[in-house]
């Protein structure tokens, strides 16, 4: 069974990180915000009101509202709140693609080692555990191509497309990866 199918089987009121203990030792299991999109998270919280909050509470420094699309669905957590799975994903891809876009065209052996470690550690520590598990499997089949900046950027684009396909999203044209993440679009719209 695929990792994301296992997540679906955890049921509507308990969305947990499958491997939380493996990653983080003895931290007790709790609903996993970074494994869940915000809409699902809000549903789960509705069912568990009061049961998962930390004992210490803090007042938000300013009142913030969740991002709501025109049809009224709540799509993303309010600004300044912990990330859900999708915000975490967008932020992480931004870091990864931007880092790859600025990786040298002729890296030293040391730089290649550092990048290998960076990707490997991310795949171990990424706090959506079933995402990390699938990412590790993908890395085992497709190890990082570290010989040059352009190869690394394309390799990463392909890894991102593997996730896009899994989620039923359109694939990104990897010929455009430097326009998206380094140079800006050719039409000048990025300034």
Ligand X SMILES: Cc1cc2nc3c(=O)[nH]c(=O)nc-3n(C[C@H](O)[C@H](O)[C@H](O)COP(=O)(O)OP(=O)(O)OC[C@H]3O[C@@H](n4cnc5c(N)ncnc54)[C@H](O)[C@@H]3O)c2cc1C
* Contact flag: residue 135 with ligand X (CB under 6 A): yes
Residues 6+ apart with CB under 8 A from 122: 92, 96, 135
How many other C-beta atoms are found inside a 10 Å radius of the C-beta of residue 190?
10
> Smallest gap, in angstroms, from Cβ of residue 11 to ligand X?
17
Candidates 92, 99, 150, 179: give the one binding ligand X (CB under 6 A). 92
* Contact flag: residue 178 with ligand X (CB under 6 A): no
CA-to-CA distance for 186 and 80, rounded, in angstroms?
33
Question: Which stretch in 20-28, 55-63, 83-91, 140-148 sits in contact with ligand X by CB under 6 A?
Answer: 83-91
* Contact flag: residue 172 with ligand X (CB under 6 A): yes
Please tell me the count of residues contacting ligand X according to CB under 6 A: 22
CA-to-CA distance for 90 and 46, rounded, in angstroms?
26
Question: Which stretch in 14-22, 74-82, 128-136, 140-148 sits in contact with ligand X by CB under 6 A?
Answer: 128-136
Tokens 């190890």 identify what position? 143
Q: Which residues in the 3-32 window bind ligand X by CB under 6 A?
A: 4
CB 179 within 8 A of CB 95: no
Tokens 């990330």 identify what position? 83
* Contact flag: residue 152 with ligand X (CB under 6 A): no
């Amino acid at each position: 069974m695929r990792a994301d199918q296992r997540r679906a089987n955890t049921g509507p009121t308990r969305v947990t990180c499958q491997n939380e203990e493996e990653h983080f030792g003895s931290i007790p299991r709790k609903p996993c915000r970074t494994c869940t999109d915000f809409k699902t998270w809000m549903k789960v919280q509705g069912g568990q009101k009061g049961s998962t909050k930390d004992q210490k509470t803090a007042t938000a420094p300013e009142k913030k509202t969740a991002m709501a699309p025109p049809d009224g669905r709540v799509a993303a957590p309010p600004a300044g709140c912990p990330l859900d799975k999708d915000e975490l994903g967008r932020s992480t891809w931004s870091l990864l693609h931007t880092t790859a876009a600025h990786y040298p065209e002729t890296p030293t052996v040391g730089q290649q080692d550092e990048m290998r470690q960076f990707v490997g550690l991310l795949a171990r520590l990424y706090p959506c555990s079933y995402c990390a598990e699938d990412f590790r499997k993908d890395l085992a089949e497709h190890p990082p191509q570290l010989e040059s900046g352009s190869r690394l950027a394309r390799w990463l684009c392909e890894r991102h497309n593997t996730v896009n396909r899994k989620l039923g999203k359109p694939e990104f044209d990897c010929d455009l990866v430097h326009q998206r993440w380094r140079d800006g679009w050719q039409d000048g719209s990025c300034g």
